[in-house]
Amino acid sequence: MVIGVKTPASSANLGPGFDVLALALTLYDTVTLSSAESSTLTVAGEGAGKLDRAPEKNLALRSVRTFYERIGAGAPPLHVHMENSIPLSRGLGSSAAAIVGALVAANAYSGANLSRDDLFVLAVEMESHADNVAAALYGGLVIAYRQDEGFKVRQARPAANVGAALLVPESGLATAEARAVLPGEVPREEAVFNIGRSSLLVEALITGDLSVLRPAVEDALHQPWRRGLIPDYNITEYACYQAGARGVALSGAGPTLIAFYDKNDESVFKPALDRELAAAAVKRRVLFLDVDTAGAQVVSRN
């Protein structure tokens, strides 16, 4: 038997939605499980020479093992193949994609037929942060919120005119390092500030009224501190706004930036962004991505 699952990249936080908001994007990793005489792992694409292949450390292998432990069965010998397009350690949810993809693949391979909500619980246990795994699993714009002892998810579909340019730098930034710079407490007025901005952001993305996105992506909880870890943050942000971006924010913990633009202006925005980045000598790869609305999907089964 062979099961292949493709899982989207994700951009979390989106400015003020710290650990709550995330957006699934049309950039995919694929995990394929196939029967084998002994358990093996191969990796192609992003991270091919970097990902740890030890069973206790590789996220895909750990996810398969965790899944079978949860259903009370021993994992059969499997060949796990990872075909990765999502850059590692760039704030694009590569870890969440590996976890979610492997869980969905193991669910289909085993025939256990756990619900997507059950798989979400497992994924959060492994990733700790619910925002990226929610986007990777469900697709669309997600709101991951605490409920009792766990998390729940609300999914929404952004308006058709919402476009996203992801500006990916050559080097990455560890999430642990990006979290270490954050203060342990924030003043009440800053918390209130973010509540207002997050509410405005969700409304703008769903209605397509992008005129308010620039203030909507403002944040007082994490971006002011993480800017200092990214030397070209300010100049990249400036170039995006000069090109006509409607809102610019860190993607996850960074160092990738997400620049929202109106797709009705796409033919003007894309060349303008190329010009502004070149003029500012910004050395980043630009990925123009759509919103993935399906989440992780089984794409091959035989």
Whether 227 and 153 map to the same domain: the answer is no
CATH code for the domain in which residue 199 is found: 3.30.70.890
**pTM exceeds 0.85 for this model:** yes
Phi and psi angles of residue 96, each rounded to the nearest 5 degrees, phi first: -60, -40
3-state SS class at 201: helix
Of residues 171 and 55, the one with the higher pLDDT is 171
Q: In whole angstroms, give the CA distance from residue 87 to residue 234.
A: 22
- Report percent pLDDT > 90 for the chain: 85
Whether 192 and 107 map to the same domain: the answer is no
Residue 123 in contact with residue 153, Cβ under 8 Å?
Answer: no
CATH code for the domain in which residue 37 is found: 3.30.230.10
Q: Six-digit token pair at 146?
A: 């605490």
pLDDT above 70 for 192: yes
- pLDDT of 130-144, one tens digit each? 999 999 999 999 999
Print the SS3 string covering 40-76. EEEEEECCCCCCCCCCCCCHHHHHHHHHHHHCCCCCC
Whether 103 and 189 map to the same domain: the answer is no
User: What is the average pLDDT score of the chain?
Assistant: 94
Instruction: Give pLDDT, residue 299.
Output: 95
Range of the domain at 295: 2-157+291-301
Residue 220 in contact with residue 245, Cβ under 8 Å?
Answer: no
Pairing assessment for the beta strands 141-147 and 150-156 based on DSSP bridges: antiparallel
